[in-house]
Structure formats: C-alpha cells, structure tokens
Amino acid sequence: MPDLNFKVTGIEPAQRGLAPLLHFVLEITNTPETETIQSIMLQTQIQIQAPQRIYEAEEKKKLKELFGAPEDWGQTLRTRLWTHANTIVPQFHGHTRTILPVPCTFDFNVAATKYFYALQDGEVPLLFLFSGTVFYAAPDGRLQIQKVSWEKECTWRMPIARWQELMEHHYPDSAWIAMRRDVFDQLYEFKRREGLSSWDEVLERLLTPNGSVAS
C-alpha cells in the first residue's frame, strides 16, 4: 500500500503561457520503493501563511485592506487560501519529480493578488495540502486504488520576486482592475466628452482635476 510524501523544491514561470502561470517543482517519494505507482490524480490546496513573515512599514500600509490596522494583527493576521491546483503524475517507482502548474492573476478583486502586490521583497510562506487518488499495482499485478491521505502536506517559502517577474512579463508597467458596467459607461462617456486618447489620461484628469501633477 503506497505511503506518499511530498516536497516542493523550486519554482519557475511557464515560458510560453498565454496567461500567468507558475510551475512549482514537486518531488514525490513512495514507500515501499519497489511498488509501481501507475499514476496519481493529485489535488493541491495552497495557503498563504501570512503570520510567518515580517512586514515592512510600507507593506503594512498596503495590507490594511486585507488585515486591518497593524495594531490589530494579533487577531486579524491569519493564514489565507491562495488557490487550488491539479496535476496528473505519471508512472514511477520510489521517487519522481513533477510540475504542479499554478495559474496566477493580476485581478485586484482577488485577495491573493492584493497580498502579493503589497510585498516589496523577501519570501511568501506557503502551505501545500495534498489530496487525490493513487492508482498502483498490487504484488499480483492487479490495479489498486487508494486516496491520498489528508494529512499529507508540506511547506515552502516562495521568493516574491518570482511572482513579480511573472506579472511584469505579462503586464509590463501596467495593471488592470474590474469595475461595474455602469461605472465603466460613465468613464467611457467622460473620455469621449473630454477628447482623451487613453484610459491613463482619464484617470489622471479625474485624480488631478486642476491639471496639476499629483505628488
């Protein structure tokens, strides 16, 4: 009967992804080593262990929307869900290495985006919780099925620079926000009425209505 253990050993951006995608390098070991694992339908929940790092003053300002005032962080700074990710692990004996693809977003309606964007440097403490289905060969060769134990987990500290580089690659010197359709219609009418050529000009005009440059 398989006894699987998991370990994250690295991270790299997807080179040809049309959307932001991080590849976590995942090492899997099984006991007994001679057992044939036919495949694993692996499901992973990734959590951000926010209390397990130190924050600079500027980071605390940006994180107020998520966790409230820093003086209240003793009660409000908690581990939060980042995302779920799935992958299929092919056949192996004893030990294998696979890629866990994790889609990312620059949508500031998503709490994880707000958290990552607030960080200047350092690492993000992550908790990986594994589940799924294991297909393996019994000693007589018959196919067997077993669930991945819910107690299987591992931690890893992701350099925030990897996420920042990924977003800069897909959205160079830019960001995007979602808004209600009626609000967009009002902005679009303002843009047309004022004869402005870009959305940057629209926002700059609204932020500095007297034409002065914001400090």
- The CA distances from residue 83 to 45, 102, 207, in Å, are 6, 8, 34
Predicted model pTM? 0.86
pLDDT value for 210: 65
Note the pLDDT of residue 215: 43
What average pLDDT does this structure show over 195-203? 87
Residue 66, both tokens: 């998520």
Whether 190 and 115 map to the same domain: the answer is no
Q: Are residues 82 and 116 in the same domain?
A: yes
69 found inside a domain: yes
- Number of domains into which the chain is organized: 2
- Does the structure show a pLDDT above 90 at 214? no
Identify the residue with better confidence: 179 or 213.
179
User: Is residue 214 in a domain?
Assistant: no
> What distance lies between CA 173 and its chain's CA centroid?
20
**Which tens digits make up the pLDDT trace of 76-86?**
999 999 999 99
Q: pLDDT at position 143, please?
A: 93
Is residue 38 over pLDDT 90?
A: yes
- Measure the CA–CA gap between 197 and 215, rounded to whole angstroms: 23
Residue pLDDT, tens place only, 43-89:
999 999 999 999 999 999 999 999 999 999 999 999 999 999 999 99
Which pairs from 156-160 meet CB under 8 Å and 24+ separation? 156/8, 156/24, 156/126, 156/128, 157/123, 157/124, 157/125, 157/126, 158/11, 158/123, 158/124, 158/126, 159/11, 159/122, 159/123, 159/124, 160/116, 160/119, 160/120, 160/121, 160/122, 160/123, 160/124
Question: Which tens digit of pLDDT belongs to each residue from 3-34?
Answer: 999 999 999 988 777 889 999 999 999 998 88
State whether 103 and 184 are in the same domain: no
Q: Indicate whether 211 pLDDT > 60.
A: no
Average pLDDT, the chain: 92
Domain co-membership, 164 together with 189:
no
Using a pLDDT cut of 70, give the percent of the chain over it: 97
pLDDT tens profile 123-180: 999 999 999 999 999 888 889 999 999 899 999 999 999 999 999 999 898 887 788 8
Domain assignment of residue 191, given as a range: 179-209
Identify whether residues 61 and 117 lie together within a single domain.
yes
Q: Alpha-carbon torsion 178, 179, 182, 188, what sign?
A: negative
Same domain, 69 and 24: yes
